[in-house]
């Protein structure tokens, strides 16, 4: 009789008889200086959202749960807490999707703080972009999750980059 129960249960096509696996997590952190004015940060968020929409089903099918944290870095203290090097930043499971920080002048953030500011530029397949291409984000997520990610390297002690120090000082000055 137990064979009949097992057969009828599994014949329904659902996963009710399969052992439940513990969910594995993929944590995506998006750190940025401004989403109200900065087109670079806005476009990065948009590309990230599009990339996540495309990979979510694959991750779910493989037993992964997706957690997305979007953090507006509004002070030197937050920058230090999150070891923020450049805006915008995307991390997968704590690893920056582009280890080398390259920056170019960002007029929007410069306007916000009243001084010249450089924000991250992204290198993907030999070309430089002001925001990460969706394909770059998808590739970074899949590499991290499915094993092609680089091994972590020793990290230097964090020091607030001069560029961010200048940005936050400018914001504070403009508020006075």
CA 47/CA 30 separation, integer angstroms: 11
How high does pLDDT run on average in the chain? 87
The string of pLDDT tens digits covering residues 59-90 is 999 999 999 999 999 999 999 999 999 999 99
Q: Give yes or no for a contact between 114 and 172, defined as CB atoms under 8 angstroms apart.
A: no
Q: Which fold has domain 22-147+158-175?
A: Glutaredoxin (3.40.30)
pLDDT greater than 80 at residue 96: yes
The domain limits of the chain are 22-147+158-175
Model pLDDT, residue 128: 96
Model pLDDT, residue 156: 76
């Amino acid at each position: 009789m137990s064979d009949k129960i097992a057969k009828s249960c599994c014949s329904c096509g659902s996963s009710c008889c399969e052992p439940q696996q513990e969910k594995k997590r993929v944590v995506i952190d998006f750190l940025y200086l401004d989403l109200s004015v900065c087109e670079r940060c806005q476009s990065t968020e948009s590309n990230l959202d599009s990339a996540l929409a495309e990979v979510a089903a694959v991750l779910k099918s493989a037993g992964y749960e997706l957690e997305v944290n979007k953090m507006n870095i509004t002070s030197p203290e937050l920058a230090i807490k999150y070891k923020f090097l450049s805006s915008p930043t995307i991390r997968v499971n704590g690893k920056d999707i582009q280890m080398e920080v390259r920056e170019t002048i960002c007029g929007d953030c410069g306007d916000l703080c009243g001084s010249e500011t450089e924000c991250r530029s992204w290198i993907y397949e030999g070309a430089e972009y002001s925001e990460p291409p969706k394909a770059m984000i998808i590739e970074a997520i899949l590499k991290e999750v499915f094993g092609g990610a680089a091994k972590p390297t020793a990290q230097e002690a964090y020091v607030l980059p001069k560029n961010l120090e200048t940005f936050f000082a400018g914001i504070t000055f403009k508020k006075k």
